[in-house]
Amino acid sequence: MHPSLAHRGAKGLQASSGGAPISFAGITKRYGPVEVLREFSLDIVGGEFVTFLGPSGSGKTTALNILAGFIEPSAGDVLIDGVSITRLPTEKRNVGMVFQSYSLFPHMDVRDNVAFPLRMRGVPKAERHARAEQALAMVRLAGYGGRKPHELSGGQRQRVACARAIVFEPRVLLMDEPLGALDLKLREAMQDEIKEVQRRIGCTVIYVTHDQGEALAMSDRIVVMSEGRIEQIGTPAAVYDSPSNAFVAQFVGETNFLPAELAGGRLAFAGADAPAPARLPEGWRGRVALRPEHFTRVLEAGATPALAGRIGDVAFHGGSYRYVVETEQAGRVIVQEQRRHGGDGPVAGAPVTLGFSLERAAFLDG
Ligand SMILES: Nc1ncnc2c1ncn2[C@@H]1O[C@H](COP(=O)(O)OP(=O)(O)O)[C@@H](O)[C@H]1O
Ligand SMILES: [Mg+2]
Protein backbone atom coordinates (compact mmCIF):
# COMPACT_ATOMS: atom_id res chain seq x y z
CA MET A 1 0.00 0.00 0.00
CA HIS A 2 1.15 3.49 -0.78
CA PRO A 3 2.54 4.99 2.46
CA SER A 4 0.45 8.14 2.12
CA LEU A 5 -2.70 6.00 2.44
CA ALA A 6 -1.75 5.12 5.99
CA HIS A 7 -1.34 8.65 7.29
CA ARG A 8 -3.77 10.60 5.19
CA GLY A 9 -4.84 13.40 7.44
CA ALA A 10 -7.30 16.22 7.12
CA LYS A 11 -5.35 17.57 4.17
CA GLY A 12 -6.16 14.46 2.12
CA LEU A 13 -4.53 14.51 -1.29
CA GLN A 14 -2.23 17.34 -0.35
CA ALA A 15 -0.42 15.03 2.07
CA SER A 16 0.99 12.98 -0.81
CA SER A 17 4.58 11.93 -0.45
CA GLY A 18 5.90 13.59 -3.60
CA GLY A 19 7.13 12.52 -6.98
CA ALA A 20 9.34 9.60 -7.92
CA PRO A 21 12.52 9.88 -9.98
CA ILE A 22 12.37 8.08 -13.34
CA SER A 23 15.09 6.74 -15.61
CA PHE A 24 14.85 5.55 -19.19
CA ALA A 25 18.03 3.55 -19.79
CA GLY A 26 18.81 2.85 -23.45
CA ILE A 27 15.25 2.08 -24.50
CA THR A 28 14.86 0.83 -28.06
CA LYS A 29 11.52 -0.17 -29.56
CA ARG A 30 11.28 -1.99 -32.88
CA TYR A 31 8.25 -2.93 -34.93
CA GLY A 32 9.71 -5.44 -37.38
CA PRO A 33 12.76 -3.75 -38.87
CA VAL A 34 11.59 -0.23 -37.96
CA GLU A 35 13.07 1.42 -34.87
CA VAL A 36 10.51 3.87 -33.48
CA LEU A 37 12.62 4.60 -30.35
CA ARG A 38 16.40 4.45 -30.53
CA GLU A 39 18.64 4.31 -27.48
CA PHE A 40 16.26 6.56 -25.58
CA SER A 41 17.97 7.54 -22.30
CA LEU A 42 16.80 10.14 -19.83
CA ASP A 43 16.90 10.80 -16.08
CA ILE A 44 14.00 12.68 -14.51
CA VAL A 45 14.19 14.14 -11.00
CA GLY A 46 11.38 13.42 -8.50
CA GLY A 47 8.72 16.14 -8.74
CA GLU A 48 9.95 17.41 -12.09
CA PHE A 49 7.59 18.45 -14.93
CA VAL A 50 9.13 17.07 -18.12
CA THR A 51 7.59 17.43 -21.56
CA PHE A 52 8.17 15.17 -24.56
CA LEU A 53 7.86 17.53 -27.52
CA GLY A 54 8.04 16.43 -31.14
CA PRO A 55 6.08 16.11 -34.37
CA SER A 56 3.55 13.35 -34.91
CA GLY A 57 5.28 9.97 -35.20
CA SER A 58 8.42 10.97 -33.29
CA GLY A 59 7.87 8.29 -30.60
CA LYS A 60 6.40 10.32 -27.72
CA THR A 61 3.43 8.06 -27.04
CA THR A 62 5.58 4.95 -27.42
CA ALA A 63 8.00 6.20 -24.74
CA LEU A 64 5.11 7.05 -22.41
CA ASN A 65 3.39 3.71 -22.96
CA ILE A 66 6.61 1.84 -22.22
CA LEU A 67 6.80 3.66 -18.89
CA ALA A 68 3.12 2.95 -18.18
CA GLY A 69 3.50 -0.73 -19.09
CA PHE A 70 1.22 -0.83 -22.15
CA ILE A 71 4.15 -1.56 -24.49
CA GLU A 72 7.20 -3.75 -23.89
CA PRO A 73 10.56 -2.33 -25.02
CA SER A 74 12.76 -4.32 -27.42
CA ALA A 75 15.83 -3.36 -25.38
CA GLY A 76 16.72 -1.24 -22.37
CA ASP A 77 15.18 -0.67 -18.98
CA VAL A 78 12.88 1.75 -17.17
CA LEU A 79 13.35 2.57 -13.49
CA ILE A 80 11.00 4.30 -11.06
CA ASP A 81 12.61 5.23 -7.76
CA GLY A 82 15.75 3.39 -8.87
CA VAL A 83 13.88 0.09 -9.26
CA SER A 84 13.46 -1.62 -12.62
CA ILE A 85 9.76 -1.84 -13.50
CA THR A 86 10.07 -3.30 -16.99
CA ARG A 87 8.67 -6.64 -15.78
CA LEU A 88 6.01 -5.12 -13.50
CA PRO A 89 2.35 -5.10 -14.66
CA THR A 90 0.75 -1.69 -15.28
CA GLU A 91 -1.40 -1.67 -12.15
CA LYS A 92 1.65 -2.22 -9.93
CA ARG A 93 3.57 0.77 -11.29
CA ASN A 94 1.66 3.46 -9.37
CA VAL A 95 1.42 5.61 -12.48
CA GLY A 96 -1.61 7.78 -13.29
CA MET A 97 -2.50 8.46 -16.92
CA VAL A 98 -4.54 11.02 -18.84
CA PHE A 99 -5.12 10.65 -22.58
CA GLN A 100 -6.39 13.05 -25.24
CA SER A 101 -9.64 11.10 -25.53
CA TYR A 102 -11.16 11.33 -22.10
CA SER A 103 -11.91 7.59 -21.96
CA LEU A 104 -14.52 8.01 -19.21
CA PHE A 105 -17.12 5.28 -18.68
CA PRO A 106 -20.32 6.83 -20.14
CA HIS A 107 -22.74 4.83 -17.99
CA MET A 108 -21.05 5.73 -14.67
CA ASP A 109 -21.51 9.04 -12.93
CA VAL A 110 -18.53 11.32 -12.41
CA ARG A 111 -17.92 10.15 -8.83
CA ASP A 112 -17.76 6.47 -9.83
CA ASN A 113 -15.52 7.29 -12.78
CA VAL A 114 -13.08 9.09 -10.52
CA ALA A 115 -13.30 6.38 -7.83
CA PHE A 116 -12.72 3.57 -10.37
CA PRO A 117 -8.96 3.16 -9.77
CA LEU A 118 -9.68 2.90 -6.03
CA ARG A 119 -12.29 0.21 -6.67
CA MET A 120 -9.68 -1.72 -8.65
CA ARG A 121 -7.43 -1.45 -5.60
CA GLY A 122 -10.10 -2.75 -3.23
CA VAL A 123 -10.72 0.50 -1.34
CA PRO A 124 -14.11 0.37 0.51
CA LYS A 125 -16.97 2.37 -0.97
CA ALA A 126 -17.29 5.12 1.65
CA GLU A 127 -13.59 5.90 1.52
CA ARG A 128 -13.41 5.83 -2.25
CA HIS A 129 -16.31 8.26 -2.52
CA ALA A 130 -14.71 10.61 0.01
CA ARG A 131 -11.44 10.51 -1.90
CA ALA A 132 -13.18 10.97 -5.25
CA GLU A 133 -14.78 14.14 -3.82
CA GLN A 134 -11.36 15.41 -2.75
CA ALA A 135 -9.91 14.74 -6.19
CA LEU A 136 -12.87 16.48 -7.83
CA ALA A 137 -12.37 19.51 -5.58
CA MET A 138 -8.73 19.56 -6.67
CA VAL A 139 -9.75 19.97 -10.33
CA ARG A 140 -12.46 22.48 -9.38
CA LEU A 141 -15.39 20.14 -9.95
CA ALA A 142 -16.72 19.90 -6.39
CA GLY A 143 -20.44 19.13 -6.57
CA TYR A 144 -20.32 17.49 -10.02
CA GLY A 145 -20.05 13.91 -8.71
CA GLY A 146 -23.63 12.96 -9.56
CA ARG A 147 -23.48 13.97 -13.22
CA LYS A 148 -22.91 11.69 -16.17
CA PRO A 149 -19.97 12.44 -18.51
CA HIS A 150 -22.33 13.53 -21.33
CA GLU A 151 -23.66 16.28 -19.05
CA LEU A 152 -20.22 17.94 -18.96
CA SER A 153 -18.29 20.17 -21.37
CA GLY A 154 -15.06 18.97 -23.01
CA GLY A 155 -12.91 20.85 -20.52
CA GLN A 156 -14.88 19.47 -17.56
CA ARG A 157 -14.58 15.92 -18.90
CA GLN A 158 -10.84 16.31 -19.17
CA ARG A 159 -10.73 17.56 -15.57
CA VAL A 160 -12.64 14.41 -14.53
CA ALA A 161 -10.03 12.32 -16.37
CA CYS A 162 -7.36 14.24 -14.47
CA ALA A 163 -9.12 13.65 -11.12
CA ARG A 164 -9.32 9.94 -11.91
CA ALA A 165 -5.59 9.86 -12.66
CA ILE A 166 -4.61 11.49 -9.37
CA VAL A 167 -7.21 9.92 -7.03
CA PHE A 168 -4.94 7.05 -6.01
CA GLU A 169 -2.09 9.50 -5.36
CA PRO A 170 0.33 8.25 -7.97
CA ARG A 171 3.88 9.45 -7.66
CA VAL A 172 4.06 9.65 -11.43
CA LEU A 173 1.45 11.29 -13.67
CA LEU A 174 1.61 10.73 -17.44
CA MET A 175 -0.37 12.99 -19.74
CA ASP A 176 -0.56 12.28 -23.49
CA GLU A 177 -1.78 15.36 -25.39
CA PRO A 178 -4.47 15.85 -22.72
CA LEU A 179 -5.60 19.25 -24.05
CA GLY A 180 -5.45 18.42 -27.76
CA ALA A 181 -9.23 18.39 -28.18
CA LEU A 182 -9.85 21.75 -26.48
CA ASP A 183 -9.91 25.24 -27.95
CA LEU A 184 -7.06 27.68 -27.35
CA LYS A 185 -8.48 29.77 -24.49
CA LEU A 186 -9.58 26.71 -22.54
CA ARG A 187 -6.27 25.00 -23.24
CA GLU A 188 -4.34 27.88 -21.69
CA ALA A 189 -6.57 27.92 -18.61
CA MET A 190 -6.18 24.14 -18.24
CA GLN A 191 -2.38 24.43 -18.54
CA ASP A 192 -2.41 26.61 -15.43
CA GLU A 193 -4.74 24.18 -13.64
CA ILE A 194 -2.55 21.18 -14.40
CA LYS A 195 0.49 23.02 -13.05
CA GLU A 196 -1.45 23.94 -9.92
CA VAL A 197 -2.54 20.33 -9.34
CA GLN A 198 1.05 19.18 -9.74
CA ARG A 199 2.29 21.78 -7.25
CA ARG A 200 -0.26 20.57 -4.73
CA ILE A 201 0.31 16.83 -4.99
CA GLY A 202 4.01 17.06 -5.87
CA CYS A 203 4.04 14.16 -8.34
CA THR A 204 6.49 13.77 -11.20
CA VAL A 205 4.79 14.65 -14.49
CA ILE A 206 5.67 13.54 -17.99
CA TYR A 207 3.59 15.52 -20.43
CA VAL A 208 3.37 14.81 -24.16
CA THR A 209 2.58 17.46 -26.73
CA HIS A 210 3.39 18.49 -30.30
CA ASP A 211 2.63 22.11 -29.35
CA GLN A 212 5.85 24.00 -28.69
CA GLY A 213 4.05 26.90 -26.98
CA GLU A 214 2.48 24.51 -24.50
CA ALA A 215 5.86 22.86 -23.84
CA LEU A 216 7.59 26.21 -23.27
CA ALA A 217 4.84 27.42 -20.94
CA MET A 218 4.54 24.36 -18.69
CA SER A 219 7.82 22.49 -18.41
CA ASP A 220 10.76 22.39 -16.05
CA ARG A 221 12.58 20.63 -18.88
CA ILE A 222 11.71 19.81 -22.47
CA VAL A 223 12.82 16.68 -24.33
CA VAL A 224 12.71 17.51 -28.04
CA MET A 225 12.19 14.35 -30.11
CA SER A 226 12.37 13.51 -33.79
CA GLU A 227 12.14 10.08 -35.45
CA GLY A 228 12.58 8.17 -32.21
CA ARG A 229 15.64 10.11 -31.09
CA ILE A 230 16.22 12.80 -28.50
CA GLU A 231 17.39 15.96 -30.27
CA GLN A 232 17.86 18.09 -27.16
CA ILE A 233 17.05 18.11 -23.45
CA GLY A 234 16.94 21.40 -21.58
CA THR A 235 14.94 24.07 -19.79
CA PRO A 236 12.49 25.99 -21.99
CA ALA A 237 14.86 28.99 -22.06
CA ALA A 238 17.88 26.84 -22.94
CA VAL A 239 16.06 25.05 -25.76
CA TYR A 240 14.70 28.33 -27.10
CA ASP A 241 17.90 30.40 -26.75
CA SER A 242 20.46 27.73 -27.61
CA PRO A 243 18.91 25.14 -29.93
CA SER A 244 21.46 22.41 -30.54
CA ASN A 245 20.58 21.93 -34.20
CA ALA A 246 18.43 23.24 -37.04
CA PHE A 247 15.57 20.85 -36.28
CA VAL A 248 15.17 22.18 -32.74
CA ALA A 249 15.61 25.79 -33.89
CA GLN A 250 12.78 25.34 -36.37
CA PHE A 251 10.46 23.19 -34.27
CA VAL A 252 10.61 25.29 -31.10
CA GLY A 253 9.64 28.83 -32.04
CA GLU A 254 10.43 30.41 -35.38
CA THR A 255 13.94 30.91 -36.71
CA ASN A 256 15.62 32.85 -39.53
CA PHE A 257 18.76 31.16 -40.87
CA LEU A 258 21.59 33.21 -42.41
CA PRO A 259 24.41 31.21 -44.06
CA ALA A 260 27.77 32.31 -42.68
CA GLU A 261 31.46 31.50 -42.59
CA LEU A 262 34.39 32.55 -40.51
CA ALA A 263 37.63 33.68 -42.14
CA GLY A 264 40.45 35.93 -41.01
CA GLY A 265 38.83 36.52 -37.64
CA ARG A 266 35.67 37.92 -39.25
CA LEU A 267 32.26 36.29 -39.58
CA ALA A 268 31.00 36.85 -43.14
CA PHE A 269 27.27 36.51 -43.77
CA ALA A 270 24.38 38.15 -45.56
CA GLY A 271 26.69 40.42 -47.55
CA ALA A 272 28.17 41.93 -44.38
CA ASP A 273 30.68 40.94 -41.76
CA ALA A 274 31.18 41.22 -38.02
CA PRO A 275 33.89 40.37 -35.49
CA ALA A 276 34.03 36.59 -34.97
CA PRO A 277 32.22 35.29 -31.88
CA ALA A 278 34.85 33.79 -29.56
CA ARG A 279 33.31 30.32 -29.47
CA LEU A 280 33.67 29.63 -33.21
CA PRO A 281 36.87 28.16 -34.71
CA GLU A 282 38.62 29.65 -37.75
CA GLY A 283 37.20 28.14 -40.94
CA TRP A 284 33.76 27.50 -39.39
CA ARG A 285 30.89 27.31 -41.85
CA GLY A 286 27.27 27.11 -40.87
CA ARG A 287 24.19 29.17 -40.22
CA VAL A 288 23.44 32.03 -37.90
CA ALA A 289 20.00 31.42 -36.33
CA LEU A 290 18.06 34.50 -35.29
CA ARG A 291 14.58 34.66 -33.76
CA PRO A 292 11.98 37.07 -35.22
CA GLU A 293 12.22 39.24 -32.10
CA HIS A 294 16.00 39.59 -32.46
CA PHE A 295 15.57 42.13 -35.26
CA THR A 296 14.84 45.81 -34.81
CA ARG A 297 13.83 48.37 -37.40
CA VAL A 298 16.76 50.76 -37.63
CA LEU A 299 15.65 54.31 -38.13
CA GLU A 300 19.05 55.97 -38.73
CA ALA A 301 21.45 54.58 -41.35
CA GLY A 302 24.89 53.11 -40.62
CA ALA A 303 24.00 50.39 -38.10
CA THR A 304 25.94 47.13 -38.44
CA PRO A 305 25.24 44.37 -38.89
CA ALA A 306 22.09 45.21 -40.81
CA LEU A 307 19.88 43.87 -43.58
CA ALA A 308 18.15 46.10 -46.12
CA GLY A 309 14.81 45.21 -47.62
CA ARG A 310 11.16 45.94 -48.09
CA ILE A 311 8.33 45.15 -45.67
CA GLY A 312 5.76 42.61 -46.90
CA ASP A 313 2.47 41.79 -45.19
CA VAL A 314 2.12 43.10 -41.64
CA ALA A 315 0.02 41.12 -39.12
CA PHE A 316 -1.29 42.95 -36.07
CA HIS A 317 -1.05 40.82 -32.89
CA GLY A 318 -2.29 43.24 -30.25
CA GLY A 319 0.92 43.69 -28.28
CA SER A 320 3.19 43.18 -31.27
CA TYR A 321 3.46 43.13 -35.05
CA ARG A 322 4.71 40.24 -37.13
CA TYR A 323 5.88 40.83 -40.65
CA VAL A 324 8.00 39.50 -43.48
CA VAL A 325 10.88 41.45 -44.97
CA GLU A 326 12.27 40.54 -48.39
CA THR A 327 15.93 41.37 -47.84
CA GLU A 328 18.56 41.92 -50.54
CA GLN A 329 21.22 39.90 -48.71
CA ALA A 330 19.36 37.02 -47.06
CA GLY A 331 15.97 36.52 -48.71
CA ARG A 332 12.85 36.34 -46.55
CA VAL A 333 13.22 37.28 -42.89
CA ILE A 334 10.39 37.05 -40.34
CA VAL A 335 10.33 39.87 -37.80
CA GLN A 336 8.37 40.29 -34.60
CA GLU A 337 8.24 43.80 -33.22
CA GLN A 338 6.82 44.95 -29.89
CA ARG A 339 4.38 47.83 -30.25
CA ARG A 340 5.80 50.98 -28.77
CA HIS A 341 3.53 53.56 -27.27
CA GLY A 342 3.37 56.51 -29.64
CA GLY A 343 5.82 54.97 -32.14
CA ASP A 344 5.08 54.42 -35.82
CA GLY A 345 4.36 50.80 -36.66
CA PRO A 346 5.75 48.96 -39.72
CA VAL A 347 4.06 49.79 -43.04
CA ALA A 348 3.61 47.20 -45.79
CA GLY A 349 5.64 48.11 -48.89
CA ALA A 350 7.99 50.51 -47.08
CA PRO A 351 11.77 50.15 -47.35
CA VAL A 352 13.39 49.09 -44.11
CA THR A 353 16.76 48.46 -42.51
CA LEU A 354 16.86 45.65 -39.93
CA GLY A 355 19.49 45.75 -37.23
CA PHE A 356 20.37 42.79 -35.02
CA SER A 357 22.92 41.69 -32.51
CA LEU A 358 24.92 38.48 -32.73
CA GLU A 359 24.91 38.15 -28.95
CA ARG A 360 21.53 36.42 -28.93
CA ALA A 361 22.13 34.38 -32.09
CA ALA A 362 22.69 30.62 -32.15
CA PHE A 363 25.40 29.28 -34.46
CA LEU A 364 24.57 26.00 -36.16
CA ASP A 365 27.25 23.92 -37.86
CA GLY A 366 27.03 22.78 -41.47
N1 LIG B 1 1.80 -1.05 -33.05
C2 LIG B 1 2.59 -0.43 -33.95
N3 LIG B 1 3.06 -1.08 -35.03
C4 LIG B 1 3.87 -0.50 -35.93
N5 LIG B 1 4.27 0.79 -35.85
C6 LIG B 1 3.82 1.51 -34.80
C7 LIG B 1 2.97 0.95 -33.79
N8 LIG B 1 2.71 1.91 -32.88
C9 LIG B 1 3.35 3.02 -33.30
N10 LIG B 1 4.02 2.78 -34.44
C11 LIG B 1 4.86 3.74 -35.17
O12 LIG B 1 5.81 4.27 -34.27
C13 LIG B 1 6.11 5.61 -34.55
C14 LIG B 1 5.98 6.45 -33.28
O15 LIG B 1 4.61 6.48 -32.89
P16 LIG B 1 4.13 7.29 -31.61
O17 LIG B 1 4.95 6.92 -30.46
O18 LIG B 1 2.65 7.10 -31.51
O19 LIG B 1 4.46 8.79 -32.05
P20 LIG B 1 3.92 10.18 -31.44
O21 LIG B 1 3.20 9.91 -30.19
O22 LIG B 1 5.17 11.00 -31.27
O23 LIG B 1 3.04 10.76 -32.51
C24 LIG B 1 5.15 6.03 -35.65
O25 LIG B 1 5.85 6.04 -36.87
C26 LIG B 1 4.09 4.96 -35.63
O27 LIG B 1 3.55 4.78 -36.91
MG1 LIG C 1 1.20 10.34 -29.68
How far apart are the CA of 91 and the centre of ligand 2, in A?
21
CATH tag for 3-246 (out of 3.30.70.100, 3.90.1150.10, 3.40.47.10, 3.40.50.300): 3.40.50.300
Q: Between 3.40.190.10, 3.20.20.210, 3.60.150.10, 2.40.50.140, what CATH number should domain 257-365 receive?
A: 2.40.50.140
Q: Specify the pTM.
A: 0.90
Domain boundaries, the chain: 3-246, 257-365
pLDDT at 41: 98
Q: Within a 10 A sphere around the Cβ of 219, how many other Cβ atoms?
A: 23
The low-confidence residues of the chain, meaning pLDDT below 50, are 1-16
CA separation for the pair 79, 176 (Å, rounded): 20
Handedness of CA 165, 169, 175, 181 (dihedral sign): positive
Q: In whole angstroms, give the CA distance from residue 203 to residue 24.
A: 18
State if residue 61 touches ligand 1 by the CB under 6 angstroms criterion.
yes
Length of the chain: 366
pLDDT value of residue 15: 38
Query: What pLDDT does 225 receive?
Result: 98
User: What is the distance in A from the centroid of ligand 1 to the CA of 57?
Assistant: 6
Per residue in 257-310, pLDDT (tens digit) is 999 999 888 888 887 778 888 788 889 999 999 999 999 998 766 666 788 899
Q: Tally Cβ neighbours within 10 Å of residue 321.
A: 18
Per-residue pLDDT at 13: 47
Nearest residue by C-alpha to atom 10 in ligand 1? 36
- For 28-62, give one letter per residue: b (16+ CB within 10 A) or e: ebeeeeebbbbebebebebbbbbbbbbeeebbbbb
Residue 5 has what pLDDT?
37
